[in-house]
Structure 1
Amino acid sequence: MEIMHEPKERKYRQLQRLGQDLKIPTFEAFLELEVRDGNGRITHHHRQRSHSWVRNAYNHMFSQLAGKNGNDTTFGAGKLSIKDTGATLRNASTPIGQSNADIDGTSYGYRGPAGNDTWGIQVGSGTNAESFEDYQLQTKIANGVGAGQMSYIEQDSHVIAYNAGIKLLSNTQIRYFNNNSGGSVNVNEVALVVNQPQGGSVYGKWMQSRDKLAATITVPNTGQLRVTYTIQLTYPA
């Protein structure tokens, strides 16, 4: 099932075409969730646009494109810095995210290791509306097998694909969550959290995107949730 709103979809497609024509970078993101019960039967599946990029992501992009250090000592409008998931301000005398670390692996970047709920794709039970100032999930579902918890599996390797016909480059990221808590677990929010420098050697985990789901998704006991993020960029025609 796809949750797409046709009036907005027309605008997205128009934006994609305009970006190609005007040679302005336009990127898109999609979020897909699939739930299977303990017998492997699919109990829920939907795909939607992910459009809830937060201030951290905008500051990261601007810092890289402008070649400007993320060295502001405050966080907010007009300031170039990062707020990590622990609410700590991160700034340094180098661009945000600048490092020589391997971000395709499971030490830095988006690929959270097994049993690690501090970065990579995260899920939560919070129901607050999305906010541009979000820097963490409202109520993160912790890694574990206790009540209300799920086991975070190592995030899959990046999958890069290129559609030469429409000049579209895409990156797919997948993470699985196993529910062995003894009861159902409700998911209402999903986040993408990167483990990368805020400049130089100042490392931290900072949220790039938080999506509030349109409806609660229930993962049954002994069931599994698969979350897929696809980020894509259309290149000039």
Structure 2
Amino acid sequence: MTEMFLETEYEEMRKLAKKLHILLPEAFWEFEVRDKRNRITFHSKQRSHSWVRNAYNLMVCQAAAVPGDSAVGLAIVDTGGSTRSDTTTQPASGLSSGGASNSSIYVNLTNGIYAGAGIDTFGIVVGTGANPESLESYALGAKIASGNLAGQLSYSATDPPAISTVGTIKTVAWVRYFNNNSGGTIIVNEAGVYTKGTYDNSSATFMMCRDLLAGGVNVPNTGQLKVTYTLQLTYPA
């Protein structure tokens, strides 16, 4: 199917979801590469179809107010591959201030997806892995470390989330820049979103989505990669 045909299908589905009052969350990811002269050498925007099981389990736990219990298939797998399960608490995409029932869940800079400069353990992350997308993925195939050495990209601080409303469509966009000071070209094949969150009253970093860029993209030495993840939801009114 052509991209234009698919977008027509999505538009029809969006209208139907609005009419029937059905939640229809949409997601997009965008890559843009600039060289040292600030010329755009690559640009691609696509729909993200690669939310992993963690994202689905998080949504169910939050919306239904149930714990993330592995006995009912609602556990979270952190980026280290450890299964995080609890029978009384639920996962959160932000860091808790404590175990009390009235504790806050922080999503400011250094928590949630909002990673600071040089931080490659959460936020938008990129890698060189080319293994197929999978619902069961819990980490990138081969994450690129932040730095200026060979094979590394310098991770900038995540931009503040841009939240906008057009008609009944609410949009949230997260942007992060990656600078190549490694001395050579780096091929980026994958991108994902890691959130620094909370589980059973302790911090936990887990992946929400992973997208594979067919053929990869070359980020030249002294060049810059911009990655944008956009979440979109159409309200019924």
Superposed pair shares fold, TM > 0.5: yes
- Contact 1:182 1:221 (8 Å CA) reproduced: yes
Q: TM-score, normalised by structure 2?
A: 0.91
| Structure 2 gaps, min length 5 | 97-103
Tell me which of 83, 92, 101 is aligned to 1:97: 92
Moved more, 10-19 or 219-228: 10-19
DSSP-derived class of the 1:225 partner: strand
Q: How many residues align?
A: 226
SS across alignment from 1:43: strand
Structure 1 residue 110: Cα displacement:
0.3
- Choose the corresponding residue for 2:77, options 83, 87, 91: 83
Map of 1:133 onto structure 2: 136
Secondary structure at the aligned position of 2:205 is classed as strand
Residue 233 of structure 1 and its aligned partner are, at CA, apart by: 0.5
How many angstroms does 1:202 deviate by? 2.3
Does the Cα contact within 8 Å between 1:219 and 1:225 map onto a contact in 2? yes
Aligned residue among 155, 161, 164 for 2:164: 161
TM-score normalized by structure 1?
A: 0.91
User: Segments of 4+ in structure 1 off by > 6 A?
Assistant: none
Corresponding residue for residue 220 of structure 2: 220
Q: Secondary structure at the match of 1:53?
A: coil
Alpha-carbon RMSD across the aligned residues, in angstroms, is 1.4
CA contact (8 A) 1:155 1:173 kept: yes
Alignment of 1:139-158 (within 5 A): 139-158=142-161
Question: Structure 1 residue 209 and structure 2 residue 209: aligned?
Answer: yes
Q: Which of 105, 114, 117 is the aligned partner of 1:114?
A: 117
User: C-alpha offsets along residues 82-112 of structure 1, whole Å, 9 cap, x if unaligned?
Assistant: 0010001112321221741320x22211011
> Which residue does 2:177 correspond to in 1?
176
Contact 1:117 1:152 in 2 (8 A): yes
1:118 is matched by which residue type in structure 2? T
Structure 1 unaligned runs (5+)? Answer: none
SS at match of 1:136: coil
- Amino acid paired to 1:227: V
- Residue 8 (structure 2) pairs with residue 7 (structure 1): no
